Amino acid sequence: MKYEIKKDTILACLLIFITAIEVQSSTRCLDYDEVRNEGGFNSPSMKNVAVISRSDKGLTSTELQDIVQSTSLSRLHTFDLSYQDNLTDDYMRQLANNLVFSRLSKIILTGSHYITDTSVQAILDGLIGTIRDLPQTSGEYGIPSTTVNLRVNDTGVKQFDTRKRFGVTVKYRPPNPQVEWSDSKNAVKLIEMTY
C-alpha cells in the first residue's frame, strides 16, 4: 500500500503543534521549589504562572510576605497554601485585597489551622475572583457571576453553604487580547467551600 501525505495534513499538524507550544508557554504550573529556583514569587518569570502547588518544603515567613506584596502573579488561577502554620486571617485579608490576585478562582487552605471564617469573609469582600477569562452566569440567580473555590478542611472555618455577595463588578480579560467582553457591574460573587 502506498500512502500519500497531503499538504493540508502537514499544515494542520504544524498548526496544532505551534498552538500547543503557544498554550504551554503562555501558562505554567509550578510548585514552591520551582518558584524558588526561578527567583521567587516576585520574579518576572512568574507573570505566566497559572497554578502554584505545594512542595515538600512549606513557605517561609519571608516568602509569604513576598507573595502578598507580589506584582508578578497576575495570571494565577489556583494557589495551594495548604499546611502553612504561619497563615492567618490577617494575611488572607492582605492577599484578598491585592489586585494581582483578582484572577484567583481556587485556593487550597487545608491544614492551615489559623484560618477561620474571617478569611472566607475577606475573600468574599476582597478582589479575589473579580477578573475572569470568560463570562459566567449563575444558574440559580440568572445574572453574571464569579465563583471562588476554597478547600478548607482541617482549618478553623465552620461549615456553611455557599456564601454570596451581590453587586460585584467582574472584569473579563481573555488570554486573546483581540476578544473583548463588557464588564459586569451587577454580578454575584460565590464562595464554594470543600470541607
pLDDT for res 20: 47
Based on C-alpha coordinates, what's the Rg of the chain? 19
Domain 29-194: which CATH number of 3.30.565, 3.90.320, 3.40.720, 3.80.10: 3.80.10
> Edge to edge, what strands does the sheet with 49-53 contain?
28-31, 49-53, 78-80, 106-108, 145-151, 184-194, 163-172, 131-132
Q: How many CB atoms lie within 10 A of CB 139?
A: 7
Question: Given 3-state DSSP classes, what are the helix, strand and coil percentages for the chain, each rounded to the nearest 5?
Answer: 30, 25, 45
pLDDT for res 55: 94
Query: Quick check: helix, strand or coil at residue 88?
Result: coil
Mean per-residue pLDDT pooled into runs of 10, the chain (195 residues) = 65 52 67 97 95 95 96 96 95 97 97 95 97 92 96 92 92 86 94 93
Q: Does residue 126 contact residue 120 with C-beta atoms inside 8 Å? A: no
